[in-house]
Amino acid sequence: MARTIQHIIQKKHQGERVVALTASDYLLAGVLDQAGVDIILVGDSLGMVTLGYATTLPVTMDDMVHHAKAVCRGVKQALVVVDLPFLSYQSSLEQSILSAGRILKETGAQAVKVEGGQPFMVEAIERLVQIGIPVMGHVGLTPQSVHQVGGFRRQGTTPETEEIILAQALALERAGIFALVLEHIPSSLAAQLTKSLAIPTIGIGAGTSCDGQILVTADLLGLSEWHPPFVKPYANLRSLILDTVQAFAADVRSY
Ligand code: KIV
Q: At 206, give phi and psi (nearest 5°).
A: -135, 25
Q: Which residues of 133-155 are buried (b: 16+ CB within 10 A; e: fewer)?
A: bbbbbbbbbbbbebeeeeeeebb
Query: What domains can be seen in the chain, in order of their start residue?
Result: 5-253 (3.20.20.60)
> Is 94 among the catalytic positions?
no
141 — alpha (psi -120 to 50), left (phi > 0) or beta?
beta
Determine the distance separating the centroid of ligand 1 and the alpha carbon of 157, expressed in angstroms.
21
Contact 208, 182 (CB under 8 A): no
**Can you give the pLDDT at residue 58?**
98
- For ligand 1, is residue 173 a contact (CB within 6 Å)? no
Determine the distance separating the centroid of ligand 1 and the alpha carbon of 249, expressed in angstroms.
35
Determine the distance separating the centroid of ligand 1 and the alpha carbon of 138, expressed in angstroms.
9
| Residue-wise pLDDT tens digits, 203-243 | 999 999 999 999 999 999 999 888 899 999 999 999 999 99
Average pLDDT, integer, range 93-120:
98
**Can you give the pLDDT at residue 226?**
85
* Sequence-distant (≥ 6) Cβ neighbours of residue 220 within 8 angstroms: 21, 231, 233, 234, 235
* DSSP three-state, residue 149: helix
pTM: predicted TM-score of the whole model, two decimal places: 0.97
Q: Kindly report the protein residue whose alpha carbon is nearest to atom 8 of ligand 1.
A: 43
Mutate to test the pocket of ligand 1, among 21, 22, 138 (most ligand atoms within 8 A of CB): 22
- For ligand 1, is residue 216 a contact (CB within 6 Å)? yes
* Sequence-distant (≥ 6) Cβ neighbours of residue 194 within 8 angstroms: 201, 209, 210, 211
pLDDT surpassing 80 at residue 68: yes
Average pLDDT, integer, range 104-117:
98
Q: CA separation (Å) from 181 to 27, 62, 136, 197?
A: 25, 24, 7, 12
| Residue-wise pLDDT tens digits, 72-91 | 999 999 999 999 999 999 99
For the CA of 41, the closest atom of ligand 1 is: 3
Q: Give me the catalytic one of 123, 173, 183, 225.
A: 183
Determine the distance separating the centroid of ligand 1 and the alpha carbon of 214, expressed in angstroms.
8
| Residue-wise pLDDT tens digits, 27-50 | 999 999 999 999 999 999 999 999
**Can you give the pLDDT at residue 225?**
85
Average pLDDT, integer, range 56-75:
98
pLDDT interval class at 178 (50, 70, 90): very high
Determine the distance separating the centroid of ligand 1 and the alpha carbon of 28, expressed in angstroms.
16
- For ligand 1, is residue 68 a contact (CB within 6 Å)? no
- For ligand 1, is residue 47 a contact (CB within 6 Å)? no
- For ligand 1, is residue 45 a contact (CB within 6 Å)? yes
Average pLDDT, integer, range 146-164:
96
- For ligand 1, is residue 43 a contact (CB within 6 Å)? yes
pLDDT interval class at 1 (50, 70, 90): confident
- The pLDDT mean for the chain works out to 97
- For ligand 1, is residue 217 a contact (CB within 6 Å)? no
